[in-house]
Every structure is written in C-alpha cells, then in structure tokens.
Structure 1
Amino acid sequence: MKKFTFPLLFCFILSFSCIEDQDPETICGVTDPLTNLSWLKTLQENYASDEMSEYNYIGQAIYEGQTVFYLASCCPNCNWQLITYDCSGNKIEEDHTLDDLDSKQTIWKSEDSECVFDE
C-alpha cells in the first residue's frame, strides 16, 4: 500500500503544478486601454467635458484586422463624422463608416448618456 501512496501523491501534486495562470486579455498591449493609453484617456476626458457629452461615446472595434478606437455620437439632430484611431493614437484617414467596423463595443459613455446600444 505504501508503494502506491507516494507515486499517487507525487502525480497529484504534479498535476496541479502544471496549471498556468492565464493573463488577462490585452488590447493594444494593455489590459485597460482607457486607463493605460494616455492619448485615449486624454480624448475621453475631452469628450466627457464637451457640452454635449451625453451624446458622445468611445468604442473599440476591428478595422481591416487591426484593433481601433473610435469617437462617435448618438445625437439625433447632429451631423457628426466617425473619427478612428489605431493603437498608437494615429488618426485613420481612410473613409469608413460604423458598418465597416467589426466586433464593435462601447468602452466609454458619460454617466448621463442618452445613447442606447444593442450590445
């Protein structure tokens, strides 16, 4: 009986030691883009202090295989243009619409937001 106790105990301990901790998902090399990407944090602060902040929101999506962040508005009476940035904070100058973005998700909107999403 003792012959089997130590090998079983060893196998039991070994089986748990092989479990690796999973790193949290990273976006653009960080776990929280709004906090860790200074350029995005600055855009969010500016958007939050805008006089029509209740209509502003920031999203994250995939555009042409790359993670992007976009500034948008749900203002029903406004004419606005989609502004999109890459992970480095470079503005993407190509013409595109929200329909061109995949895997869209809202990552910030004001506390008094008027925007309603189907997410």
Structure 2
Amino acid sequence: MLFRVIGCMILVMVLYSCSNDDDSNLICSVEDPVEELPWLNEWVATLSEFEYIRSARYLGDDVFYNINCNPLVNYVSILYDCQGKVIGFTGDFRGQFTNDQLLWLPENSQCSFPVDR
C-alpha cells in the first residue's frame, strides 16, 4: 500500500512538472517586450531611424540598451532592466552580456552595417 501511495505521488509530481510551455524565448517573462512593456513601447516611439534596441542577459537578468549608428552623433548607451530602471552605462557591462540580440529595428533604419535581424 505504501508503495502505491509513493508511486502515485511521484507520478503526480512528474505530471505537474512537465510543461509544453517554452519559456526560453521569453524576455522579461513576456513574448513581445516592445508591445507588452509600456515603458519600452514608449521608448521605442522616441527613437530615430539611426537607433535600434538590443536585449541581452546580464547576471541572469534580461536587460535592454540602444545603439545609435549615426556617424555624426556621439552618444552614451544606457542599460535598463525589465522595469525600465537604469542600471548604468552599457559600456561598463557589455563584456558580461550573454544572449545579446537585436530586439527592435525601425523599418526606415539608416543603419547600413550588418545587424542580426
């Protein structure tokens, strides 16, 4: 009897731990951060055709930063967390990024170098 109870408990735990959901593609626990994170959507609306946004993992957390490809502009990229809080200057942390990827690029982008679309 004890083995049946233990067997049932193990079966229940295995079934509940299995999931078809693949969370590995989520950024900040959402599928489309630009649309689902209000602060990020507002930020995107302010960017020019010379800017784009990248996402990365920093110390296990998702982060965002912008790149400006205008050769006439000297800029400093700021690193943001999922809530839109400033972490610091991107250059201070970029060497520790993993899963660094393009998140948003304007349709009228003027960036002529190859980017991972």
Question: Are the equivalent residues in 2 in contact too, given 1:60–1:104 (CA < 8 A)?
Answer: yes
Comparing 109-118 with 70-79, greater Cα deviation is found at: 109-118
Identical counterparts, % of pairs: 34
* Matching of residue 111 in structure 1 with residue 110 in structure 2: no
Counterpart-to-counterpart distance in 2, 1:87 and 1:96: 18
1:80 corresponding residue in structure 2: 75
Larger radius of gyration: 1
TM-score w.r.t. the length of structure 1 is 0.68
2:46 corresponding residue in structure 1: 46
Counterpart-to-counterpart distance in 2, 1:56 and 1:40: 14
Unaligned runs of 5+ in 2: 1-14
Unaligned runs of 5+ in 1: 1-17, 48-52
2:21 corresponding residue in structure 1: 22
2:57 corresponding residue in structure 1: 62
TM-score w.r.t. the length of structure 2 is 0.69
Distance 1:83 1:32, change over 3 A: same
Question: Are the equivalent residues in 2 in contact too, given 1:27–1:33 (CA < 8 A)?
Answer: yes
Equivalent residue letter for 2:98: D
Counterpart-to-counterpart distance in 2, 1:36 and 1:26: 11
Q: Runs in 1 of length 4+ with deviation above 6 angstroms? A: none
Q: How many residues align?
A: 97
